[in-house]
């Protein structure tokens, strides 16, 4: 049985870029800082294939200002949770689907698409989730700049006021 500190040590030995970017938050909880796409994918593959993090329970989306954050919650047979974090710029929020290794993440990745505007490459075809049919395209309610005051439930439209060619409080 590996302890949290041994897992962190293995990760840092394998990936030098993780020094000062991975830590034990508390018992059974390991977190990384936000990683670049390539770093994230290397660590995720290694965690799955070599360290035994076979289960994925959730993906949490976050609005980080100019970037979107994605936190993948993985666990091993001992109940240790590894929270791997990835960032993508809002201007090009493309990430790769992790459903190939973790099929249970399909609905969670759909949430990232609908709620945050992420583009999840290789996500299997499926229905929109969790927003209702008719939700306005390009309107992402979990982004900090989305303002519910400008959403009309009756017409399913999002109409923020114009300000010097920019939409205030909403998505373009």
Contact 7, 51 (CB under 8 A): yes
Instruction: State the pLDDT at residue 170.
Output: 46
Span between the terminal Cα atoms of the chain, in Å? 50
- Placement of tokens 């499926």 in the chain: 126
Answer yes or no: pTM beyond 0.85: yes
In the chain (172 residues long), the average pLDDT of successive 10-residue segments reads 91 97 97 97 97 96 98 97 97 96 96 97 91 91 95 92 54 45
Task: Say how far apart CA 23 and CA 82 lie, in whole Å.
Answer: 10
Task: Say how far apart CA 77 and CA 99 lie, in whole Å.
Answer: 19
Q: Which domains does the chain have, with CATH numbers?
A: 4-129 (3.30.460.80), 131-172 (no CATH)
């Amino acid at each position: 049985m590996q302890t949290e500190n041994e897992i962190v040590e293995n990760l840092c030995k394998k990936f030098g870029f993780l020094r000062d970017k991975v830590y034990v938050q508390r018992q059974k909880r390991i977190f990384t800082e936000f990683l670049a796409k390539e770093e994230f994918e290397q660590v995720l593959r290694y965690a799955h294939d070599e360290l035994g993090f076979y289960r994925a329970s959730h993906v949490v989306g976050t609005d980080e200002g100019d970037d979107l954050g994605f936190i993948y919650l993985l666990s091993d047979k001992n109940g240790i949770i590894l929270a791997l974090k990835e960032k993508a710029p809002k201007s090009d929020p493309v990430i790769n689907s992790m459903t190939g290794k973790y099929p249970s993440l399909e609905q969670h990745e759909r949430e990232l698409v609908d709620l945050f505007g992420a583009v999840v490459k290789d996500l299997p075809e499926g229905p929109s989730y969790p927003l209702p049919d008719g939700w306005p395209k390009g309107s992402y309610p979990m982004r900090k700049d989305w303002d519910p005051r400008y959403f009309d439930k009756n017409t399913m439209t999002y109409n923020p006021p114009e300000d010097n060619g920019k939409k205030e409080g909403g998505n373009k």
